Amino acid sequence: MESTDSLQNQLKKVSRELFSNKIQLHQTTVFLQSILQNSNDLIFATDVDGILMSFSKGGEKALGYTWEELAGSFIKDLAADPLELEKLVKVSREEGSAVRLELPFRGKDGQTIHYDVSLINLTNTEGKTVGTVGICRDITLWKKLQEDLIQIDRLAEIGRIASGVAHEINNPLAIISEISGWAGVVVSDAKGLSQEDREELETAARRIGEQTDRCKAITHQLLGFARGSAPAIISFDIHAMIKKTIGFLEPQLKFKPIDIVLNFEDEALPIKSDPKMLEQVFVNLITNAIYAVKEKGTDQGRIDLKTSRAGPNMEIMISDNGTGIPEEAQKKIFDLFYTTKPSGKGTGLGIPICRNIIKKLGGEISVESQEGRGTTFNISIPVS
Ligand SMILES: Nc1ncnc2c1ncn2[C@@H]1O[C@H](COP(=O)(O)OP(=O)(O)OP(=O)(O)O)[C@@H](O)[C@H]1O
Ligand SMILES: [Mg+2]
């Protein structure tokens, strides 16, 4: 009698334990399912041969496959380099787990996704390997940021080198410029030269002078860009400044008539900013506009300048009806040394310099353009 009681008690105990284990198993399954469903990470489990048994929704989303497409395939076939993944699995088998800071996977559309991968060797109660679990974190964005930083660093280095070279070149340039002027004078006064020779030599000396001036202007711009001097803020009338700048550019407008149309709301528009820096911006943008209009070869070349107040900012629009900029080039024009002009005519410094200056003055610059129709640069800067 007593033994039946104890047997029943034991049975109750076992069934309670079984029930509690069942609940635990259920909870663990729900827990794992919820991780697989909701994690952004790529989490997978394979059998001992590396065939996928489960795959997280985050992984499906990142690689672009559905579980139906993946079930039964080898995990290594998703890696950009299957051999690398196999090697990592081997290490996890030997050591229980393995990590790799960066392992690229290939998505359905051929895209590369970089993962930080951790593998865990799955064993049964006898310690025999039954499969592998992988937890992979998408580090593609982080990697891109890292590459961008390296790129910025390189650009800064190039900037430092360029400014060093520009600085060194300035002195010899000054000497060449001075000597070419002197040579011109000598040629003009020289006796015994035929008229033809004299003219040729004078032209040569003048051209040396002109090209040296051009080099000086380039080194000057480069130095200004690399040094990044702080703006000198004063009060001035921006309308008067724009008119004066157009005055400087008159010689460029001599041979082909181009209408410069000023669309200013008021006579004067006082602002607090750096006039020297803004002048550089207008010279660059208007020079580009003149070039584009001339390139197009139209008889109705036109450049519009429009200013308006917009709350604490003023907006300046510079439009031309020149060649326009193809869409794929519109982003590149802000890169240092991007130019489509023949060598000797452009260095690709104008627009990066403009953007640098406008940023320093707390503003923004953007471009809109249609190939064959024209280009508009929009600038917004604080009035004070
Ligand atoms: N108004 C415009 N119309 C058409 N293309 C333009 C215009 N402004 C700029 N671009 C394009 O952008 C490129 C870069 O201009 P950016 O002013 O930076 O250099 P650049 O004029 O070529 O040389 P630099 O100004 O250094 O003498 C130009 O070569 C040209 O292709
Ligand atoms: Mg330019």
CA-based end-to-end distance of the chain: 101
Domain ranges of the chain: 39-138, 144-227, 234-382
Q: What is the pLDDT of residues 211-227, one digit of tens each?
A: 898 888 888 777 777 66
Domain made up of 39-138: CATH architecture: 2-Layer Sandwich (3.30)
Q: What is the pLDDT of residues 109-147, one digit of tens each?
A: 999 999 999 999 999 999 999 999 999 999 999 988 888
Pick the atom of ligand 1 nearest to 377's CA.
Answer: 1
Q: Is 320 in the pocket of ligand 1 (CB under 6 A)?
A: yes
| pLDDT in the model for residue 243 | 93
- The pTM score is 0.56
**Considering every ligand atom, which ligand is closest to the CA of 352?**
1
The runs of H, that is alpha helices, within the chain are 2-38, 57-63, 67-70, 82-95, 140-189, 195-227, 238-253, 275-296, 350-360
CATH of 144-227, one of 3.90.380.10, 1.10.287.130, 3.60.130.10, 2.70.98.10: 1.10.287.130
| pLDDT in the model for residue 298 | 85
365: alpha, beta or left, given left = phi > 0 and alpha = psi -120 to 50? beta
| pLDDT in the model for residue 80 | 96
Q: Which of 222, 260, 288 best tests ligand 1's pocket when mutated (most atoms within 8 Å of CB)?
A: 288
| pLDDT in the model for residue 287 | 92
Q: Is 319 in the pocket of ligand 1 (CB under 6 A)?
A: no
**Considering every ligand atom, which ligand is closest to the CA of 338?**
1
Q: Which of 319, 334, 341 best tests ligand 1's pocket when mutated (most atoms within 8 Å of CB)?
A: 341
Helix (H) or strand (E) holding 301: strand 301-310
Distance between Cα 98 and ligand 2 center (Å): 54
Q: Which of 302, 321, 339, 349 best tests ligand 1's pocket when mutated (most atoms within 8 Å of CB)?
A: 339
Q: What is the mean pLDDT of residues 1-7?
A: 79
Q: What is the mean pLDDT of residues 230-234?
A: 86
Residue 262 and residue 123: Cα distance in Å, rounded? 80
Q: Which of 193-197, 276-280, 322-326 shows the lowest per-residue confidence on average (mean pLDDT)?
A: 276-280
Question: Over pLDDT 90: what percentage of the chain?
Answer: 67
Q: Is 374 in the pocket of ligand 1 (CB under 6 A)?
A: no
Q: Is 221 in the pocket of ligand 1 (CB under 6 A)?
A: no
| pLDDT in the model for residue 153 | 77
165 pLDDT exceeds 90?
A: no
Residue 87 and residue 68: Cα distance in Å, rounded? 27
Q: What is the pLDDT of residues 342-364, one digit of tens each?
A: 877 788 888 988 998 899 899 99
Distance between Cα 323 and ligand 2 center (Å): 14
Nearest CA to ligand 1 atom 9: 288
228 pLDDT exceeds 70?
A: no
Pick the atom of ligand 1 nearest to 345's CA.
Answer: 27
CATH of 234-382, one of 3.90.1150.10, 3.30.565.10, 3.30.420.10, 3.20.20.70: 3.30.565.10
Contacts of 329 (CB under 8 A, 6+ apart): 338, 340
Residue 216 burial (C-beta neighbours within 10 Å; 0-12, 13-18, 19+): middle
Read off the tokens for 55.
């795959």
Pick the atom of ligand 1 nearest to 318's CA.
Answer: 1
Q: What is the mean pLDDT of residues 177-183?
A: 92
